[in-house]
A and B are shown apart, each in its own frame.
Chain A
Amino acid sequence: MICLLTTTVRGQQATGLNGLIHVPTADMDTVGMARIGAQFLPHEMVPDAFTLDGEKYNTASNYLSITPFRWIELGYGYTLMKFHKNLNPKRQTGFYAKDRYFSAKIQLINEDQWWPSIAVGGNDVWGSREDGKSGSNYYKNYFVAASKHIDYSGHLFGAHVAYRDWYRDYNHRWNGVVGGITYQPAFYQPLRAIVEWDGNGVNCGVDCRLYRYFLVQCGLFEGKAFTCGLCFCINLL
């Protein structure tokens, strides 16, 4: 059973926290783990506020995150935003701004032989007041999640379920009960296959820890849009 709990750095590359592809889990990174990384986000995967001249666009996120204690993960990330240069509609377009947000997850119960791990958390948890200059809250959401793993002859299966509540109306399609299953084969445990339901569609993908310091993730969002990410991860302890 101990080996079930030694999984260290796993997915949700858009925010930098441990998770699936677009769904949070109650799993935590190993204490002391820090990540810096980026993910390509197809336009289907970003909130509808990411539009330029009425069209949604593909973008990318960058993040820094850390697990300072076993029970808490903290992340800072931003999603690139496309604008006309200097907000002049006659000038060229490009990624001239970003939407920044902090993420946090606290594990209330650690997984053991019988109990799943339970965690609460959210993205865009601080800042962006409605009366402020930005008032964006594009990624603001809160969740409670549970995760349980089962080892079957070295093959590791994970079941994850969460209830998620998004703040912005245009993100409500991702509200409600979400979750997924994961599988790590006995012959190569750094590899993990993921299938998830994010409230609006089914996403699938894989992530893999490479050369100790790297984590790569690739997936299909709602079965049609490609997403991928790469992060550098290092244990500071």
Chain B
Amino acid sequence: MRIRWIVFLCLLTLLPAKGRAQQAGQVELFAGAELSYADINYLRLYDVLINVTPGVKWHLGKDWQVAGQVYLPLINDGYPERYDMIRLNMANISKEIHFDEAKQHFKVTAGLFGMERYGADLRWMYPINSWLMVHARLGLVNHWALGFNLQNDVSESEFETSQWSKFGVAGASVWLNPWATEFRVSGGRYMNGDNGLEGEIIRHFNHCSVSLFAQIHERYQSTGGSNDKSGGFRVVMMIPPYKKSHEKVVFRPASNFRLTYNAQSDGYSMKKYNTDPEENERTLPMRLPWGTGNFNE
């Protein structure tokens, strides 16, 4: 079953594509920061983890891209010891495939993803019209983490498992142009094998998006979690320069800074892995002129 998946994803990458990506051969080197925080004890106000996140994107032409990212830990106050390591967070290759006349758009990614996963990922987007789009995402992933043996309270089996997990999420987006507002509904099977449903309303501003979301999901019992509903907000702030450069080698800050607040997070439910080092909820994963049209930001 696993082999069939991988063969299918590999065959998709051989399909022809139109040259709509960044300039072929361009290399983008960038760095940002990642802030993780958790309010789970009475030892400190927040557990805090701050990483500097240098990354690279190499545009190979014809919508092929190689991406990589390293985590350089800066502050670790309360998070597991293994996050003190300098580590590779992402290394993958992706290919976008566009069937413009049929309005069918695909992106295939394979390699090491974020959230300590590796495998293959397929995204599909179908902009039915200027205000409605349906989309789906399928993945086959496994654990991949450095330094798990540094942490005493996590069994090695969590990371040494060879069990592949299927990821599948589908949804729809509605774009209300007069109000620069987007509604998203999506649901399915998430990274840890749990099922859930999410609704989100996103208000897009010039270079910032703010959203409120609500989630309903299976209860996560392993850590005594009792909540099956949650919600919170997200802020995605784009960082200048806002226009893509056409230089052969580009040095720049990371394109965005994201903040997510999840009121009842159990750290497990409805998790998604990233396939792009700058992935965010504002910018579509593929270059499509839909919604804000901010794919080039």
Which A residues are closer than 8 A to B by beta carbons? 32, 34, 64, 66, 68-69, 74, 76, 80, 83-87, 95-98, 100, 126-127, 236-237
Q: Contacts of A97 on B, CB cut-off 8 Å?
A: 39, 42, 45
A76 to B109, CA, bound (A): 36
Q: How far is the CB of B207 from chain A (nearest CB, A)?
A: 8
Q: How far is the CB of B244 from chain A (nearest CB, A)?
A: 22
CB of B43 within 8 Å of the partner chain: yes
Q: Contacts of B206 on A, CB cut-off 8 Å?
A: 236-237
Q: Is the CB of B43 within 8 A of A96?
A: yes
Q: Contacts of B208 on A, CB cut-off 8 Å?
A: 34, 236
Instruction: Known contacts A69-B179, A127-B263, A237-B205; decide if A85 and B45 are in contact (CB<8 Å).
Output: no
Annotate B217-247 by CB proximity to A: 1 below 8 A, 0 otherwise.
0000000000000010101000000000000
Q: Contacts of A32 on B, CB cut-off 8 Å?
A: 205
A96 to B43, CA, bound (A): 6
Shortest Cβ distance from B237 into A: residue: A236
Q: Is the CB of A95 within 8 A of B203?
A: no
Q: Contacts of B210 on A, CB cut-off 8 Å?
A: 34, 66, 68, 236
Sample of 9 A–B contacts (CB below 8 Å)? A66-B203, A68-B181, A68-B210, A80-B45, A84-B42, A86-B41, A97-B45, A236-B207, A236-B210
Q: Is the CB of A86 within 8 A of B43?
A: yes
Shortest Cβ distance from B235 into A: residue: A64
Instruction: Known contacts A69-B179, A85-B43; decide if A76 and B203 are in contact (CB<8 Å).
Output: no
CB of B261 within 8 Å of the partner chain: yes
Q: Can you add 7 more A-B contacts, CB < 8 Å, to A96-B41, A96-B42?
A: A32-B205, A64-B235, A83-B42, A85-B43, A86-B41, A86-B42, A95-B45
Which B residues are closer than 8 A to A by beta carbons? 39, 41-45, 179, 181, 203, 205-208, 210, 212, 231, 233, 235, 261, 263
A96 to B261, CA, bound (A): 19
Q: How far is the CB of B211 from chain A (nearest CB, A)?
A: 10
Q: How far is the CB of B261 from chain A (nearest CB, A)?
A: 7
A75 to B261, CA, bound (A): 12
Q: Is the CB of B179 within 8 A of A85?
A: no
A213 to B45, CA, bound (A): 27
Instruction: Known contacts A76-B261, A127-B263, A236-B208; decide if A68 and B42 are in contact (CB<8 Å).
Output: no
Q: How far is the CB of B184 from chain A (nearest CB, A)?
A: 16
Q: Is the CB of A68 within 8 A of B203?
A: yes
A-B pairs, 3 with minimum CB distance: A236-B205, A68-B203, A96-B42
A118 to B218, CA, bound (A): 41
Q: Contacts of B212 on A, CB cut-off 8 Å?
A: 74
Q: Is the CB of B39 within 8 A of A98?
A: yes
Q: Contacts of B41 on A, CB cut-off 8 Å?
A: 86, 96
Shortest Cβ distance from B208 into A: residue: A236
Q: Contacts of A74 on B, CB cut-off 8 Å?
A: 212
Shortest Cβ distance from B42 into A: residue: A96
A64 to B233, CA, bound (A): 11
Shortest Cβ distance from B44 into A: residue: A96
Shortest Cβ distance from B209 into A: residue: A236
